[in-house]
Amino acid sequence: MDTRAYAQQLVSLRRELHRIPEIGWSEFATTARVIGLLRGYGFEVLAGPKVIARDHTLGREPAIVAAGLAFARSRGVDEALLAEMEELTGCVGIWRTGRPGPVVAVRFDIDCVNVQESTDPSHPPSALGFASERPGLMHACGHDGHTAIGLTLSRWVAEHADELGGTIKFLFQPAEEGVRGAAAMAASGIVDDVDVFIGAHLAMMAATGEIVTAPHGFLCTTKLDLRFRGKPAHAGVEPQLGRNALAAACHAVTQLLGISRHGSGMTRINVGEMSAGEGRNVIPVNAELKLEVRGENAEINQYMVDQVSAIAEGVARSFGVAFEIEKMGEAVDLANDAALVDVIASVAGSVQSIGKVAAGANFGGSEDATILARRVQAHGGQAAYFVIGSTRPAGHHQSEFDIDEASLEIGFELFKGLLLRLAPGH
């Protein structure tokens, strides 16, 4: 197969997916497209509860799921395929070579971000006609590129199966944003037999032609929704009979932002949303905070979670309101296995378009691929997550974000080389 065909598919698929961004747990059209291509290449494909443990889904809102199904139907997605998904997005493609070798898993995330894409004529997706067609939704983190790399790599596997051994699993994971999807995919057991796990991200701290083989600073994080439930009363006639959930939430915010930082490592907390109240002259009954904590390691992150719980309970008692806390997402820290880092560096050094191979750089955020990676490590396998540089005009999750499409082929060549090295057919 002419290598130009793979390069063309990378760009074509990335632009196709960029036009139809889907938020986490609603990626039915994207999942359908992935399943269709994988089965067309000859992969065994598992979807729905076979790869997503329903009881372990985080931050999955019924209204978002319903909207995603409606969008998929508007695009003509086959009803039999939607029935197979059982309202759960994401899928896994499996290629069994029939020859001895390890089980290698490669992971690609498929969801978008709640961002309105720029319409500036200098913004390449707008200038070239592949900008998001969905108001308020955008692939502003590069997941369209991740999925395009994964699908093109799967085509290469099908066309070069005689060069490979063992079993290769392609994990197309939903709901990475908000770190909500990996826990449910891991809980399905789909990676419990995996010997080697590989994940990667486009752009981040590196430019096109650069690779970071062992990024550090993967922060443990927990996403929480905190809800207060009070009692209504007339704000003028009998305010003393009410229990003010809004006031409780306000006090909670100030105390949450004042949590003492941990002396053993870095911590973060952010209250990103607050909603409360029912009417101007009614003592507010309902209030909700959407927040996140992060920590340098699991112990420090748990300290932050415990502090949130203590503050919520104390505020609820002082205002006479009820409260509940719901976990909406999570990610853990990760240390790449040294042997895999060496392999990544070696393969990267053989890719002509890669000019710089860096051992480490600060990732500085959270990624729920770490949950899948750590599950593989816990079962005796090896795992690594690396960065494929891509020069970008604006930061991730911004309306002007874009990736350098030249980085797609670099990522494809690197993953291809890793499969040949990790799962050789002879």
pLDDT of residue 230: 97
What CA–CA distance (Å, rounded) separates 128 from 122? 10
Statement to judge: residues 318 and 376 lie in one domain: no
Statement to judge: residues 281 and 353 lie in one domain: no
pLDDT of residue 361: 86
What CA–CA distance (Å, rounded) separates 241 from 253? 24
Q: What confidence tens digit (pLDDT) does each residue in 349-358 have?
A: 999 999 999 9
- Residue holding tokens 């079993």? 167
Statement to judge: residues 71 and 192 lie in one domain: yes
pLDDT of residue 2: 67
What CA–CA distance (Å, rounded) separates 145 from 404? 10
Structural domain for 286, as ranges: 220-331
Statement to judge: residues 243 and 352 lie in one domain: no
Q: Considering its fold, how many domains does the chain have in total?
A: 2
CB 112 within 8 A of CB 175: no
How does DSSP assign 197-230, residue by residue? Answer: EEEEEESTT--TTEEESS-B---EEEEEEEEEE-
Residue segments in the chain with a per-residue pLDDT below the cut of 50: none
Statement to judge: residues 155 and 290 lie in one domain: no
**Sequence-ordered alpha helix ranges (H) in 214-297:** 245-256
Statement to judge: residues 88 and 168 lie in one domain: yes
Residue 208 CB partners (closer than 8 Å, separation 6+): 389, 390, 391, 404, 406, 407, 410
Give bridge partners of residue 199 from the DSSP assignment. Answer: 107, 385
Q: How many Cβ atoms from other residues are within 10 Å of residue 281's Cβ?
A: 10
Last residue of one domain, picked from the residues 308, 331, 354: 331
Statement to judge: residues 49 and 117 lie in one domain: yes
Last residue of one domain, picked from the residues 331, 365, 390: 331
Statement to judge: residues 17 and 144 lie in one domain: yes
- Kindly report the CATH number assigned to the domain that includes residue 239: 3.30.70.360
Statement to judge: residues 87 and 151 lie in one domain: yes
What CA–CA distance (Å, rounded) separates 329 from 182? 9
pLDDT of residue 1: 52
Is 398 exposed, middle or buried, given 0-12, 13-18 or 19+ CB atoms closer than 10 A? middle
- The whole model's pTM is what? 0.94
CB 198 within 8 A of CB 343: no
Residue 249 structure tokens: 């939430």
Statement to judge: residues 173 and 233 lie in one domain: no
SS3 call for 257: coil
Last residue of one domain, picked from the residues 309, 331, 353: 331
What CA–CA distance (Å, rounded) separates 387 from 154? 20
- Kindly report the CATH number assigned to the domain that includes residue 140: 3.40.630.10
pLDDT of residue 365: 84
Residue 342 CB partners (closer than 8 Å, separation 6+): none
Q: What is the 3-state secondary structure (H, E, C) of 342-378?
A: HHHHHHHHHCCCCCEEECCCECCCCCCHHHHHHHHHH
Statement to judge: residues 142 and 64 lie in one domain: yes
Cα 42–Cα 44–Cα 47 angle in degrees, nearest 5: 130
Statement to judge: residues 31 and 157 lie in one domain: yes
Closest CA to 304 of 272, 267, 330: 267
